[in-house]
Chain A
Amino acid sequence: MSGGGESARGWRALEIEQELPELHLLTGEAMHTREQPLTGTSPSDVRRRLSELSDRFRGARAVSIRREPVPAAYRVFFRHIGLEPDTERTPIEAAVLERMVRGGFPSRGLLEDVLLVALVDTGVPVWALDAESVDGQLGIRTSREGERLGRSADAVVLPAGRLVVADASRALAVLFGELAPGHEPHSRTRQLKLFAVQVAGVPSMVAEEALWSCQTALQPR
């Protein structure tokens, strides 16, 4: 993959491999080389891209997006894992709904903007973790009894059986949900671990493009 880093498939617990064989975690490294901090104001090229993407979405598209192949795949997958997509919106539908309500994609800082651009461009959601807080490879498994989300002592305790993104030692994010506190990138983070969730019906190339989009935006030539 040119321009950014490589992407690789994360590991999956056996039960997930058997039950949801087309669910994959796509991971990649990204080096943040821009001058602006990740949590600071986005540079003009990123804000311009957000503005271009805002123009792409009109009311009619906001309604019909649920029929497009990639957003439709996430709607189906949400139902397969017990989430109701009309209540708990898929990432792309949530973004488009906010675009309609606010009249545009508001800039929320460099990292959030970069992830949003990748999501709106491809339909595939991408999340970022501070690479220094990750122990080994990322993968998908179910949470264990009494397990906490992240390393913090006061981190929330997960119910057993929740689908989580985890490293070798702990759960770092609920699938399609919140990241573990203390593992999010902060203003001084330079090395990031990105991950995208690929479900049945989403071509690998599209998921890879989502990661690549983030990698190149954070590390422009």
Chain B
Amino acid sequence: MSNFEQSVIERDDQAPEVASARDFGFAGGERACGRCGSAELGQTDERAARASLRAQIARLEREHSQIVAERFPHIRAPAAMPAGPECGPALLDLGKLERSRDALAAAVQELRASAIDRLEHEGRARERLQRMRLEPGRYKFARLPVRDLGQGVCGVWEVRPRLGLIGMLAGWWELKLSSGCPLSRGSRSTRDPG
């Protein structure tokens, strides 16, 4: 795991249980026994390390879910690795828990970056919308989907000439929000021709 990924995990809080397994004297699942001689104490330490990793996984999973739920549909969870036939519920050892934690930390890191990119994109879109509203004549026929503003998935802001051709010739431009989501049963004219 990179230093950055470790900082991702530890960024939000500095709770005492948030610690790498290495803090407990383990590396790659092997116990580096230098500070105690008792096997029993080693087992206790290792169990505490696993509990710490589970706490980290729980925290990362909550953040992962929060980003996905709050930013849907603009941000989707990174594709997970398909489970192989050998995968199944088991008590994970230290190494497997570390790998699981690292994979989740990487996914959260990717989601955070996507969320930041998305926020910047929406910020730029809002500024553009503001300019279109203030000076519509400079943005003739410019279109800005509301999706870009993070305000839904259907509808487009568009600078259009007021009164059609007359407005075009006279230079009367306005910003209009056109359309919304299509009706689930189709338009009235198709639904009810009579």
- Given contacts A66-B65, A75-B65, A82-B96, whether A19 and B88 have CB atoms under 8 Å apart is no
Per-residue B-contact encoding for A59-98, CB less than 8 Å = 1, 0 else = 0000110110000100110011111111110000000000
Q: Does B54 contact A (CB under 8 A)?
A: yes
Instruction: State the CA gap A82–B80 with chains docked (Å).
Output: 13
CB-contacts of B86-115 with A (<8 A): 86-92, 96, 100, 104
- Given contacts A19-B47, A63-B72, whether A163 and B89 have CB atoms under 8 Å apart is yes
Instruction: State the CA gap A76–B63 with chains docked (Å).
Output: 11
Instruction: State the CA gap A19–B52 with chains docked (Å).
Output: 11
> What residue of chain A has the Cβ atom nearest to residue B71's Cβ?
A63
Min Cβ gap A198→B in Å is: 15
Q: Does B50 contact A (CB under 8 A)?
A: yes
Instruction: State the CA gap A83–B54 with chains docked (Å).
Output: 13
- Given contacts A86-B80, A87-B81, A163-B89, whether A76 and B57 have CB atoms under 8 Å apart is yes
Instruction: State the CA gap A66–B68 with chains docked (Å).
Output: 9
Q: Does A212 contact B (CB under 8 A)?
A: no
B58 with A81: CB separation less than 8 A: no
Q: Does B170 contact A (CB under 8 A)?
A: no
Residues in A with CB closer than 8 Å to B77 are 86
Min Cβ gap B108→A in Å is: 12
Q: Does B69 contact A (CB under 8 A)?
A: yes
Min Cβ gap B157→A in Å is: 23
Residues in A with CB closer than 8 Å to B61 are 72, 75-76, 79, 85
- Given contacts A63-B72, A66-B69, A83-B83, whether A72 and B62 have CB atoms under 8 Å apart is yes
> What residue of chain B has the Cβ atom nearest to residue A60's Cβ?
B72
Min Cβ gap A31→B in Å is: 30
Query: Which of B50, B65, B72, B87 has the most chain A CB within a 10 Å cutoff?
Result: B65
Q: Does A146 contact B (CB under 8 A)?
A: no
> What residue of chain B has the Cβ atom nearest to residue A63's Cβ?
B72
Q: Does A15 contact B (CB under 8 A)?
A: yes
Instruction: State the CA gap A174–B69 with chains docked (Å).
Output: 30
Residues in B with CB closer than 8 Å to A142 are 90-91
A163 with B90: CB separation less than 8 A: yes
Min Cβ gap B168→A in Å is: 40
Residues in B with CB closer than 8 Å to A80 are 54, 57-58, 92
- Given contacts A19-B50, A63-B69, A67-B69, whether A83 and B89 have CB atoms under 8 Å apart is yes
Q: Does B82 contact A (CB under 8 A)?
A: yes
Query: Which of A19, A86, A159, A177 has the most chain B CB within a 10 Å cutoff?
Result: A86
Instruction: State the CA gap A20–B83 with chains docked (Å).
Output: 23
A81 with B89: CB separation less than 8 A: yes
B88 with A174: CB separation less than 8 A: yes
Instruction: State the CA gap A38–B68 with chains docked (Å).
Output: 39
Q: Does B178 contact A (CB under 8 A)?
A: no
Q: Does A176 contact B (CB under 8 A)?
A: yes
Q: Does A134 contact B (CB under 8 A)?
A: no
Min Cβ gap A91→B in Å is: 13
3 cross-chain pairs, A with B, having the tightest CB-CB distances, nearest first: A163-B89, A86-B80, A81-B89
Can you sample 7 A-B contacts with CB below 8 Å?
A18-B47, A64-B69, A75-B65, A80-B57, A81-B89, A81-B92, A162-B90
Name A residues whose Cβ lies closer than 8 Å to a Cβ of B. 15-16, 18-20, 63-64, 66-67, 72, 75-76, 79-88, 142, 159, 161-163, 174-177
Starting from the known contacts A18-B47, A174-B88, A174-B89, 17 additional A-B residue pairs (CB-CB under 8 Å) come to: A19-B47, A19-B91, A63-B72, A67-B66, A72-B65, A79-B58, A79-B100, A80-B92, A82-B92, A82-B96, A83-B88, A84-B87, A87-B82, A159-B86, A161-B91, A162-B88, A162-B89
